Chains A and B, each alone.
Chain A
């Protein structure tokens, strides 16, 4: 039964001597290979060169500080409740008198943990955050030898101090700083 008009009958004629040398076909293939020498490379030399991410790329999480270096997060739990992968856990504590320079609000996250093995980088935590405390940066979680290394705690997530460690802070801000 014929299904389409494109069907071709297979030629089962034995090859001639010239054809059995495959010379012409090899030459055709080599020509294609040679032409690629002059085309744009699809790859880059990764650790030295890096591709820029899209502006909407969602990478590794960063816990934000304000201009004075106080932590923005108040442990309201909205990121954890918004998280579809249930990757975020936190523990809240009350700010004591004298700690006002460390935390912006009277409640803060004393522990904040993101399980990067569970995280699907959907960015819903960033969307849910009422305090502008968490955002997804333009880097990704680096490879690790063990699973334990993917449980990111607060000191790994917190952005460097903008006053005490200006350089690292600017670096951590990355392209988001220039776009703002």
Chain B
């Protein structure tokens, strides 16, 4: 009996679950799933040492454990607090937590430019989701927002420091996935910023994963920059034989064009794991294989129906039978106007461009 592990009983929002000792409150809540899971901006279960910075996952501990049932005096960061046997945690049932979270969102948005109409992350941004759920309508901040010029870090990654919430996820990626990290957080306090040391370009085979772990639009794919909005593209699961990475990706397509390649994300917005290994993808897969021929298509990815990305993506539908050619003796009906002949859009093959389209790609009378 002694080798059988003793499980801890935790109650989160009146739902009791048995978890292994050493589990954090956040992980216990994720095992329950649904609304009781606290949001996490900086914590990333696949990156060692992440978490404890953004404070969005704060929860109230109403009773510490069976042995010591006193409540914890302050709200605790659930990503860094381990569960104890008999712990009672309140997340959505606690008004204190909801109030604190609204405050945290306000802090995160203090210096955020709110340029979602421009930002490529819009539609899959965790800060957007968080603000939608917990944010207030207006800001009470009266001072000038901290601004930075946009920066190119490497040929593939665009850094918008203004949008950064300093979650440190990208530095952990560089530390844990690549051999030498050349970027980090410079300065401190209000002046803290992510940058490369003397603007050194990041050229590492796995540097592209920084884009996937970034919860906001601070690090974005330059090969996808301004090409299309996320909700107009179609996510498709695909794989290829890659000698560097697992090769399992999501292709973001428009028609047959591959506009963007990302790693597959799980329900928590983190990169999926396969057989215990995290499915990070290499830069070759991410940036260079922008053709359907390079990939074996598995099928459309599952998109949460509450996500804007599910807009216009219909699943489980069958195409109705076309009766017109049948009754017209095999002839297709004559179109009075084919929009593709008239439309001025799509004259430039944007997916073939290495970066965002600019006025140089369009002739004067086309603009």
Contacts and interface: CB of A to CB of B under 8 A. Distances in A.
Interface string B347-363: 01010000111111110
B231 A111 contact: no
Contacts of A75: 226
A111 B363 CA distance: 12
A92 interface: yes
Interface string B57-68: 000000000000
Nearest to B362: A110
Contacts of B115: 105
Interface string A90-104: 111111100100000
Contact of A93 (B336, B342, B356): B356
A90 B359 contact: no
B289 to A, nearest CB: 23
Contact of B343 (A77, A89, A92, A117): A89
Interface in B323-359: 336-337, 339, 342-346, 348, 350, 355-359
Interface stretch (A15-23, A41-49, A145-153): A145-153
Nearest to A75: B226
Contacts of A76: 116-118, 122, 229
Interface in A65-92: 74-78, 80-81, 89-92
Contacts of B367: 110, 154
Contacts of B122: 76
> Which secondary structure dominates where chain B touches chain A?
loop
Contacts of A153: 344
B226 A78 contact: no
A81 B356 contact: no
Contact of A111 (B336, B337, B345, B360): B345
Interface residues of A, number: 31
A58 interface: no
Contacts of B150: 106
Nearest to A86: B312
Given A76-B229, A89-B345, A94 B357 contact: yes
Nearest to A118: B339
Given A76-B117, A110-B367, A91 B229 contact: no
Contact of B225 (A94, A130, A131): A94
A91 B342 contact: no
B232 interface: yes
A80 B232 contact: yes
Contacts of B94: none
B62 to A, nearest CB: 41
Interface in B12-44: none
B229 A151 contact: no
B311 interface: yes
Interface residues of B, number: 35
B308 interface: yes
B229 A81 contact: yes
Contacts of A130: 116-117
B303 to A, nearest CB: 14
B339 A115 contact: yes
A90 B358 contact: no
Nearest to B114: A130
B359 A99 contact: yes
Contacts of A96: 358-360
Interface in B96-125: 115-118, 122
Contact of B337 (A106, A113, A148): A148
Contact of A77 (B229, B350, B359): B229
Contact of B226 (A94, A99, A111, A117): A94
A105 B118 contact: yes
Contact of A105 (B117, B311, B344): B117
Contact of B357 (A92, A105, A148, A154): A92
B159 to A, nearest CB: 14
B26 to A, nearest CB: 33
Interface string A142-173: 00000110010110000000000000000000
A80 B117 CA distance: 13
Contacts of A105: 115, 117-118
A91 B117 contact: no
Given A77-B232, A94-B356, A111-B344, 8 more contacts: A76-B118, A76-B229, A78-B117, A91-B350, A94-B225, A94-B357, A99-B359, A147-B342
28 contacts: A76-B116, A76-B117, A77-B228, A77-B232, A78-B117, A80-B232, A81-B231, A81-B311, A89-B343, A91-B357, A92-B357, A93-B357, A93-B359, A94-B226, A94-B358, A105-B118, A107-B117, A107-B356, A110-B357, A110-B366, A111-B366, A115-B339, A130-B116, A147-B337, A148-B342, A151-B342, A151-B343, A153-B344
Interface of A: 74-78, 80-81, 89-96, 99, 105-107, 110-111, 113, 115, 117, 130-131, 147-148, 151, 153-154
Q: Which 10 A-B pairs have the closest CB atoms?
A: A76-B117, A77-B229, A94-B356, A147-B337, A93-B357, A92-B226, A107-B118, A74-B117, A151-B342, A111-B345
